[in-house]
A and B are shown apart, each in its own frame.
Chain A
Amino acid sequence: MITLSGLTKRYGGTTAVADLSLKIEPGLVTGFLGPNGAGKSTTMRMIMGLDEPTAGTALVSGRRYAEFRHPLREVGALLEAESVHPGRGARNHLLAMARSNGIPRRRVDEVLAKVGLTDVAGKRAGAYSLGMSQRLGIAGALLGDPPVLMFDEPVNGLDPDGVRWVRELMRSLAAGGRTVFVSSHLMSEMELTADRLVVIGKGRLIADAPIAEILAGSSRHRVKVRGPHPEGLRQLAGHLTRQGVTAEMVSPRELLLSGTTVEPVGELAHRLGLLLHELSPQEATLEQAYMELTAGSVEFAASQEETR
């Protein structure tokens, strides 16, 4: 469980995180989304005690990070893949890490095997690919077998196999009752991985809800109509527009409608004697829902740019 209350971080005149209050519950994968510069990394760094909040608190299992005697056994985090000395190998890095928190040495080999780095554990980290560095970071997060885990962009640089592995890892960690808090830019990935989403923009909370709720709340539920007769489709669109439906001719043979459902469209097409090849509901994707949610904060940024 991660609890943020009134968490705020200001750098000089700019506010990176503004009065953020939320609870990240155990047993779920909570996705953390927001445009670049929304304050995701800053928030995670404050949870880890790396950045001092200007106001408010970030607690893990009810305590400040620095209060833990063995913090790595309480919270595991992958923040930046490049926080490993390039001259040190994965095994030695993890060994120093384990010693700092009194973690038994065998855990080092266990996590190396788990992330698939056993064969290169002796090589200098500077020679690792981005994907290998990411795996080393994940190994570090798992080292203390902690009940709370945070990952900042964990699938960066991973191949499709690796992406799927990370997804399954997150799911299994949450299934084991752990708190899993993951930021990512990949919406499709989040859609597959997360149970719940926290969306921030300009450092402010935009949404904090189960993923299904965020998808259902999107106005981008649409109806797709496809047929061989462009003239008939135009006629259909004309009728629907008069009823207040928004119709868009995507191509001469395809229509996208919003503000309606398949049933009335099907009935109308039947009355018009129009031949259709497809009439289907189009679910909003997470990406669309996300774009709608963050449009406000992105527009705000753009207009602010203009007034300078």
Chain B
Amino acid sequence: MTVTTEGRPRGAATDAAGAASGGRLPGAVAAEWTKAWTVRSTWWNLLGAAVLMGLACLQLAIFTVNANENDDPADDKGVVGAGTIAIGAVDLVQFVLIGLAMLLITSEYSTGTIRATLQWIPRRGEVLAAKTLVVAVIGGLAGIVLAAAGSLAALPLLGHWGEFEFPAWLGDVLAVGVYMSVIGVFSLGVGALLRSAVGTLIVIFLIVLVVPASLQASGITAMERVADFLPAVAGAAFMRGESDAYPPVLGLLILAAWAAAALAAGHVALNRRDA
């Protein structure tokens, strides 16, 4: 092996060929984007989400048809929009995308990569902002593509019980994208706060699934009202465009408030702790 002495003692910052571009937030976003697509977990999660979305949509379509055609008139759903099938599948599929979002920060702690990341981008707010942007974009696009594909796949199974009205369908599909984007950011915030993948997943499971389900099953009105203010319930109200408690737009605001709070807590933790 030979060693060649590189010329100037000054850094590449003054190198004409490497003109001072990038860096700061755009640089941080470019780095996070590159990192997200150069680990297998991202691809596996997306593949898993696609498979799960397909299966869930087919299953929900079959359920809908059965409910309409059995002898019990109480469970009749009537004619449903294709997009609502995809919205129903979100309950399940979201956990795969939550995993994707959360891994973008928790895997950095479990592998020590966070120390490298903070050397590249020492202003920690920029690291979190860049990750937020990447998660929001991936979650949003994945939500839209998966919801579109899943609902279209369900349509033939629904037969005359399904309807496809483009504006309504587009609205549903976009709503799934928005929901996936925001719940992903929420998960990222929790991940930044807790650092461990297992801890993050447990907390998210509790907040998204277990706590609202037990509150709603309690039969006590006050508790059901509390459940309305949890992120997944608020998100469902937003996507379905119906809720006894509040208008859909408020559902989105409640969901966004959870994401903002999680991010803020994650930001404080990231700033305070030594890496």
Contacts and interface: CB of A to CB of B under 8 A. Distances in A.
A145 B7 CA distance: 10
B9 A176 contact: yes
Given A85-B111, A104-B17, A146 B12 contact: yes
B164 interface: no
B111 to A, nearest CB: 5
A109 interface: no
Interface residues of A, number: 57
A258 interface: no
Interface stretch (B52-60, B114-122, B228-236, B239-247): B114-122
Contact of B118 (A50, A161, A172): A50
Contacts of A68: 122
Interface stretch (A92-100, A188-196, A206-214, A281-289): A92-100
B219 interface: no
A85 B34 CA distance: 13
Contacts of B28: 100
B21 to A, nearest CB: 5
B27 A100 contact: yes
Interface residues of B, number: 47
Contact of B4 (A77, A88, A172): A172
Given A50-B274, A79-B115, A147-B10, A85 B27 contact: no
Given A49-B118, A69-B20, A83-B116, A96 B34 contact: yes
Interface in B99-129: 107-108, 111-116, 118-123
B41 A87 contact: yes
Interface string B36-79: 00111100000000000000000000000000000000000000
B119 A168 contact: no
Interface in A75-108: 77, 79-80, 82-89, 92-93, 95-97, 99-104, 107
Nearest to A175: B5
Nearest to B107: A85
B41 to A, nearest CB: 7
Given A101-B27, A168-B3, A144 B22 contact: no
A177 interface: yes
Nearest to A168: B3
A216 B37 CA distance: 56
B15 interface: yes
A71 interface: yes
Nearest to A74: B11
Given A49-B118, A65-B122, A96-B34, A144 B7 contact: no
B74 to A, nearest CB: 51
13 contacts: A45-B274, A51-B274, A82-B111, A83-B115, A87-B40, A96-B120, A97-B31, A101-B27, A102-B21, A147-B9, A161-B1, A173-B6, A176-B5
